[in-house]
Structure formats: C-alpha cells, structure tokens
Structure 1
Amino acid sequence: MNRQVQVHASLFLVALIYGSNYSIAKEVMPEYVGPFGLIVIRVVSAALFFGIFSRFVVQEKIVGRADNLRVILCGITGVAVNQLCFFAGLNLTAPINAALLMVIVPVVVLIFSAILLKERVGKRKISGILLACTGALLLIYNSRGESTTGNIWGDLLIILNATSFGMYLVLVKPLMQKYKAITIVSRIFTVGAVLVVPFGWQQLLTPDYSAFPVSIWLALVFMVFAVTILAYLLNTWALRYANPSLVGAYIYLQPVMAILIAVFMGKDVFTLEKALYALLIFAGVYLVSRTRQHAVPKVGSEV
C-alpha cells in the first residue's frame, strides 16, 4: 500500500469514526450514562493516555507564562466548553442536526480569525458565511415543531460547541507552531479534565455499570479509544502528508457518513428540508474553505 492510499484510508477512517460517534453516543445517552458523565469518562481517559504518551515519548515542556495561559484557554474552549455543549446538545437533538451544524466550524474559524488575527475577509468569504449561517438558522428554526427529530435547544448547544471549537482552533495555532502536537493535546486535555469533572461526577457515579449490556461497553470503548485516541493519531499522521485541498475535501465526508449511519441505525430521518439546509451549509463552507485552503480545519477534529 503506497503512502497516498494510506493517507486517504486514514482520512476516510477518521471521517467514519467521527460520523459514527453521533449515533453511537445516542445509544448510551441518557439511558445508561448522562451526557456529562460520558464526557468525564472520555476526557479523563484521554488525558491519562496523552499525558503518559507525552511524558515518556515526547518529553517536551511548555515554557513561559503567555504560552501556559494560552494552553489553559485552549483547554477551556477546545475541551471543557466544547465537549460539555456537544454532548449536552447531542443528548437533546438529532444526530443529523448535530452533524450538519458542526460543518460550520470553518466558518466560525474564519470569523474569529478576522476578529482576533485581523485576517482579511473578502466578498466571497462573506457570501460563504451568509450561506452557511442561513442554512444553520433554518435548520434550527425547523427544529421547533413537535413533529421534527431535532430540538432547538440541542441545536443551539451544538452551535455553541462549534463556536467554542472554532475559537480553540484559532487560539491553538501559535502553540502548534512552537511545540509538538501531542504536547499541546496532553496539556489541554489535562486542563479540560479538571474542568469537566465537577459537572459530570454525579452522573458518572449514578449508573449501575454491572448491568450494562456488552453493546454499551463496546460503545464506551469506541468513544474513548476510537473517537478520541485513534482518530487523533490517524488524523495527525495523515496531515503530515495530505495537501490542504485533500483535507478540505474530507470536510464534507463526515456529515455524509453521520447521516447514512443515523438513518441506517434508525436514529434519525433525513428529510427534504434537511437536505436543502445541508446544501446551503455545504455551499457556504465550500466558499469559505476554497479561499483559504492553507488553514482549513478538518470538521470533527475534536481534541
């Protein structure tokens, strides 16, 4: 298997893992584990893994008050707020809604880059922002009715999650240019773990784990090792060899996988209205990504 095939296989597997997470997490929440309890399991497990990996393999330290303060901000936006809003939102809304709304992350990154980094925003980028936001707002508005599979509060939490993650991607960029990725990830997961434990500790202790069926244990293992650890390692390796246009193309695969899996598992229904809103969101993200390929964030690249 040549290197190019390996890169495509890695990026496809990452998209498949993230796309599966929406429906698999719905299997666990809230019947077996509450959303915040699930976050504690995932974040603390990841913090331990990446912390050990960083300490014994990379052995790199973050120096200076400014960089350490930025790490704390990244832990707040990229792990704590990001994860709390994502799982709380997913617990309320439909998998397809969550997957489609997460596609706006590149748009959020562009907005924060313009505000914080003073990047220039041209007419095409503004058109992309307006298209994507229109699609997202219509999707949220459509979630008000009782006959819909979405939930307006869940959708708004997913938007807040995407906003927090977009801010994280802007904040973390200077750190990624100075330190190894595994060093940054291990530190921000440590910060995130400290912050999410108070929110999810009670939900973590409530379930009767001995009564969990094998399928739920497999779902928990999948969310900890596949979604958090394996996807991160595959994504990090692939990005060393993938060009920006290839990474940009895979932006659109994750929500497609999420839709197919959600429909196949009977977790959601893909309606004509959602298809139209998806086209608006995809078109907007395409315009934004097309004009700034050097900094396209991969959708679903959770930390």
Structure 2
Amino acid sequence: MKNSLRVHAALSLVALIYAANYSLSKDVMPHYMGPFGIVTLRIVGAALFFTVLSRLVAPQDRIQGRADTGRSIICGVTGIGVNQLLFFSGLNYTSPINASLLQTIAPIVVVLASAVLLREKITGARVGGILLGAIGAATLILSRNPTDAIYPNATLGNILILLNATAFGVYLVLVTPLMRKYNAFTVLARIFQVGALVAVPFGWRNVLETNYAAFPLYIWSEVIYMVLFLTIIAYLLNNWALKYASPALLGVYIYLQPVLAVLIAVSLGKDHFTWGRALQAALIFGGVFLVSRKPRPQVPLEPVLD
C-alpha cells in the first residue's frame, strides 16, 4: 500500500475512533464511572505506555533547557490534563452531536493563538471565518434541542466542550516546536506524565470507588476502547500521519469526525439531528474552512521603468 493510501486510512481510522467515543462514553458516564475517573485511567495508562515506548525508541532523547521544559509542562497541562478533564466533563452534560460540532472550533483557536503567541497576521478572510465560527458556536451553545430533557445541563456541557477545544487549540500551537526538535514519543511521554499529575488529584477517588464487579462486558470493552484506542492508538496514528499529510488534508478530516459522530449517535438512538443543528454545523464548518485557508503569497510588483 502506498504512503498516500496509508495516510488516508490512518486519518480515517482516527476520525472514526474519535467519532465513536462521543456515543460510547455515554454508556459509561456517569452510571458506571464518573468523567474524572475515565480521564485518570486514560492519561495514566497512556503515560506509562509512552514512557516505556520513548525509552525503547529514543533512549538518548531528552527534553532539555528551561524554556523547552517549561513549554512541555504547559503543553501537558493544557493539551492533556485540563483538556481531557474539560472534554469528559462537558460530554457528560451535553449531547454527542453538540460535543462533536463544538470540537471543530479548535482550528479557529489555533489561528487566534498563533496571532497572539507567534504574532502571525490574520487576513480578512480569517477574520470572517472566526466571526462565522463564533456565531455558529454561540447559537449551538444557547439553542434548545429535542435532547434537552435528556441533557438538562447541556449549556454548561457545551461551554466546557468549547473551553476544551480552546485548550487543545492553544496546545497545538505550543507543542509544534517541541515536536520538530525532539522525537515525538519523547514529547508524548513528557506531556502525558504532566497530564497525569494534573488528572490524578481529580480522579483517583473515582477510580478507587468504582464498582468494577458491576461492569457488564460491553462496559469493560468501552473502557478498554477509551484507554487503548482513543488515547494510545489514535495518538500513534496521528503522529505517524503528520509526517506525510499536508495541513489541507488534515483540514478535510476535521470535517469527517462530526459527520461520523452524527451518524453513529443517530443510529444508536443516543441523539437527534435537526435542521437547526445543520445550520449551526454549516456556520462552524464555513468558519473553519475560511480560517484554515492559507493566505496567498503576495506577488512583488515589477519596478516601473521611466
């Protein structure tokens, strides 16, 4: 299989893994295990895995220097610890479709964070995209849906998911220099170790107090899915695909995830898709599309000869 086909297969599988999680997590939370307990199991499991893998793949590679160490700590806090705590807390309160749509705001946050942290210019088209995405997100957060009776705290959940997408967007900007300088597994090991330090104080009690003997087989399989596929395999596939995939291609797969999430949620009877949500999705997708477009390089003017 050629690399291009492998990249498409990897990114499609990652999108499917993430999309299925929006519905599968609903089976586990909050009846069998609380969101902080799930986050703790995920992050601690991934921290152990990536720590061992980094020692095997790049035993001499170490994050060095005060600046890189500080950056890795901030990445672990924003991209792993806070990010996951916000995501699963929000998903616990809101519907799978709302959560999947709001997650696509992350590229808009990346552009804003790049402008603030890296002083990159924002073009007029990107400003329009930011406003369009913001309108879509705001209407989605504040709107009333047929699932309101099932998710009475959906507004709070929507806000937590939006904060999660914001934290993840900032993380993507901050982690890029580390990924270019060090082995990817060295960086992943460090940020998951930091993330574990953030998550464990919130979730250790939930992990210890959970009645695992009451888990049916399908709940065990979904917990294993969230630890193994959602955390470890998805990160491995994403990092491999990033070596070959263009930003434009990655942008296409941003749109695939919520589409798959909608199909899975509706087919499992866990959510409903309405025309109002379709309009909100169109606004968010349109905003992300405008923001993700690279500005055209300016062609220098030819000198005028007298």
- Give the TM-score band, short-chain normalised: over 0.9
CA RMSD of aligned residues (A): 1.6
- Distance between the aligned counterparts of 1:292 and 1:198, measured in 2? 44
- Distance between the aligned counterparts of 2:185 and 2:124, measured in 1? 37
- In structure 2, the partner of 1:57 is 57
- Distance between the aligned counterparts of 2:124 and 2:286, measured in 1? 15
Q: How far apart are 1:48 and its partner, in Å?
A: 0.3
- In structure 2, the partner of 1:224 is 227
- Distance between the aligned counterparts of 1:86 and 1:97, measured in 2? 12
TM-score, normalised to structure 2, is: 0.92
Letter paired with 2:225: F
Q: How far apart are 1:166 and its partner, in Å?
A: 0.9
- Distance between the aligned counterparts of 2:39 and 2:150, measured in 1? 27
Letter paired with 2:135: T
- In structure 2, the partner of 1:196 is 199
- In structure 2, the partner of 1:182 is 185
Q: How far apart are 1:160 and its partner, in Å?
A: 0.6
* Structure 2: segments with no counterpart, 5+ residues: 297-306
- In structure 2, the partner of 1:298 is none
**Aligned CA distance change for structure 1 residues 209 and 148 (closer, same or farther; 3 Å):** closer
Superimposed CA distance per residue, residues 100-148 of structure 1 (whole angstroms, 9 cap, x where no aligned partner): 0000000001111111110000100000000001000000010489458
- In structure 2, the partner of 1:268 is 271
Q: Secondary structure at the match of 2:157?
A: helix
Higher alpha-carbon deviation: 141-150 or 116-125: 141-150
- In structure 1, the partner of 2:3 is 3
Letter paired with 1:101: L
- In structure 2, the partner of 1:299 is none
Query: 2:110, 2:173 within 8 Å by CA — same for their partners in 1?
Result: yes
- Distance between the aligned counterparts of 2:217 and 2:58, measured in 1? 35
- Distance between the aligned counterparts of 1:6 and 1:161, measured in 2? 29
Q: Secondary structure at the match of 1:177?
A: helix
Query: 1:143, 1:151 within 8 Å by CA — same for their partners in 2?
Result: no
- Distance between the aligned counterparts of 1:227 and 1:240, measured in 2? 20
Q: How far apart are 1:159 and its partner, in Å?
A: 0.6
* Structure 1: segments with no counterpart, 5+ residues: 294-303
TM-score, normalised to structure 1, is: 0.93
Higher alpha-carbon deviation: 171-180 or 235-244: 235-244
- In structure 2, the partner of 1:113 is 114
Identity %: 55
Higher alpha-carbon deviation: 83-92 or 144-153: 144-153
Give the one of 250, 263, 271 matched to 2:253.
250
Higher alpha-carbon deviation: 224-233 or 243-252: 243-252
**Aligned CA distance change for structure 1 residues 147 and 216 (closer, same or farther; 3 Å):** closer
Q: How far apart are 1:291 and its partner, in Å?
A: 2.4
The 5 A counterparts of 1:21-60 are 21-59=21-59, 60=61
Higher alpha-carbon deviation: 98-107 or 259-268: 259-268
- Max Rg structure: 2
- Distance between the aligned counterparts of 2:295 and 2:76, measured in 1? 26
Query: 1:127, 1:287 within 8 Å by CA — same for their partners in 2?
Result: yes
Q: How far apart are 1:242 and its partner, in Å?
A: 1.9
Q: How far apart are 1:195 and its partner, in Å?
A: 1.1
